[in-house]
A = this chain, B = another copy of it.
């Protein structure tokens, strides 16, 4: 015989029942330590592995979770993925990758994977729920979903996040503290919650310091390299360009610095730049980027830990888990030279 062995084969080989084998393999106390050992041995000898689908069907759990992001290609998610995977693995779960690219179709597909038992739970980092058109695609009430990074207001799902407003405010306060008064903000795609929050932090800091936000000082970006460069260019086409820029993420900050260099402006000599995220390589960048550090490892771990709790029946916390984000002052921010 050359097919994959099943429980029955082990049972037959030992003259016991399949039930006993099943119990022995899941370390049930109901089986003599001795028979358990014997069963283990032959299972090993036969190179046995329990069939995953059969087990899933029977137990109604897939032992997989789904991690859904807007763009798997974004390096921002790396550490989160890593810690989610590690935490999941430690609990016996596998991680399925979901990539929506803002496509509503796909968003629905990933939610469907939850309903059809492909995955037992989901960590959602896209900042949105699929359109709940009538009864279709309706999720069962207590779905094991954790929202991380982004937030979905009124969704009722537990959240793991940072305080974007406070972090942005701290970044701008740092620039103000250095003596800057003409501070611009390159934002994310504005209707999106996260972009709005970071902009809000910028405005709060400016307001609190009695500084004006001149027209054109809040160009909108797209969180991408090129968008940062373009927004930066727009700023320096203004009659009164800023002496400092708070950029809504590191990638755009890189683009902006690139652009400044191209225009012959020194960073931080002529213009200070502060980013947001503290990407891998932001420190190795030249000059090392001053930015807001997001505790990605923690975010991933906490989100997965929360999900695991929900999967084991614990109630989800009503309050969002808010992790500290801290400003990392490096070399792209300095005093204004005028």
Contact = CB atoms under 8 A, between A and B. Distances in A.
Interface string A235-260: 00000000000000000001101100
A73 interface: yes
A78 B72 contact: yes
Nearest to A94: B96
**Number of copies of this chain that the complex holds:** 2
A293 interface: no
Interface in A67-121: 71-75, 78-79, 81-82, 85-86, 89, 94-97, 99, 106, 112-113, 115-118
A195 B246 CA distance: 41
A53 B225 CA distance: 42
Interface string A132-174: 0001111000000000000000000000000000000000000
A312 B44 CA distance: 30
A330 to B, nearest CB: 12
Contact of A73 (B60, B78, B112, B137): B78
Interface in A40-61: 44, 47, 49-54, 56-57, 60
B64 A57 contact: no
A118 to B, nearest CB: 4
A112 B50 CA distance: 10
Given A73-B82, A284-B258, A57 B53 contact: yes
A325 B78 CA distance: 25
A47 B96 contact: no
Contacts of A106: 89
B96 A96 contact: yes
A174 B137 CA distance: 57
A49 B117 CA distance: 9
A229 to B, nearest CB: 9
Interface string A259-288: 001000000000000000000110011100
A62 interface: yes
A68 to B, nearest CB: 11
12 contacts: A44-B136, A47-B138, A51-B116, A52-B116, A53-B62, A74-B78, A75-B280, A86-B99, A94-B97, A94-B113, A95-B96, A254-B284
Interface of A: 4, 44, 47, 49-54, 56-57, 60, 62, 64, 71-75, 78-79, 81-82, 85-86, 89, 94-97, 99, 106, 112-113, 115-118, 135-138, 225, 254-255, 257-258, 261, 280-281, 284-286
